[in-house]
Amino acid sequence: AYIATVTYYDRQIPGSPFKISCVPGPDASKCHVDGLHPNSLYITGNPIEFTVNSSEAGHGQLKVYIQGPHDYTPKVYLADDGKGVHSVKFDAMKPGRYFIVVAWSECHVPGSPFKIRVHPAADASKVIAKGPGLHNGMLGDTGEFIVDTKQAGIGTLLIRVHGLKDAFKIEANPIKSDD
């Protein structure tokens, strides 16, 4: 605390001396962002959540700005736990690159702006299966077919064949996208 004495013609004014309490100013470099990783898999339609810890950054205000693809700006939801940890959530409804600016009292926190890529949600209706192995066959013969998932988005391909136990063998060989 500081003491300030205010005088007028060598006489203290009413209320003087004043006790002044000072707190450290904001320091964005002491903020920590958790949960945003450039190599993580983000899918459209799923909320993206991360936290900003400002507990050691002094008194300040958190601001988060997000710019998505094609000038898409998602609504940002902020929650403060009262102890300096802020939860941030937004819905990435369009696939593409997102730039996330995290500022503490108008200054970038370490790592800001963050860049993430949001991928389209998987769409099974865009998977194409074709080939003679999907139709009639003979026991002992090879039945080959191709499953094309290029237009379906990111997902897991699962192939199950029902019939006599151990009567068949499945081999899956990914084909490069330029083939």
* Residue 154: predicted pLDDT: 83
Q: What is the number of alpha carbons within 13 Å of residue 36 lying toward its C-beta?
A: 25
* Alpha-carbon distances, residue 22 vs 18, 26, 36 (angstroms): 13, 12, 34
Residue whose entry in the numeric block shows the structure tokens 């450039």: 38
Q: What is the mean pLDDT of the chain?
A: 90
* Residue 177: predicted pLDDT: 65
Give 81-121 pLDDT, tens digit per residue.
999 999 999 999 999 999 999 999 999 999 999 999 999 88
* Residue 178: predicted pLDDT: 60
* Residue 179: predicted pLDDT: 47
* Residue 159: predicted pLDDT: 86
With residue 91 as reference, give the H or E element that holds it.
Answer: strand 85-91
pTM over 0.95: no
Residues of the chain with pLDDT under 70: 177-179
**Preceding peptide of 113 cis, ω within 30°:** yes
**Preceding peptide of 174 cis, ω within 30°:** no
The gap from C-alpha 170 to its chain's centroid, in whole angstroms, comes to 37
Residue 21 has phi, psi (to 5 degrees) of -95, 135
Residue 106 gets the label, from left (phi > 0), alpha (psi -120 to 50) or beta, of: left
Give 61-72 pLDDT, tens digit per residue.
999 999 999 999
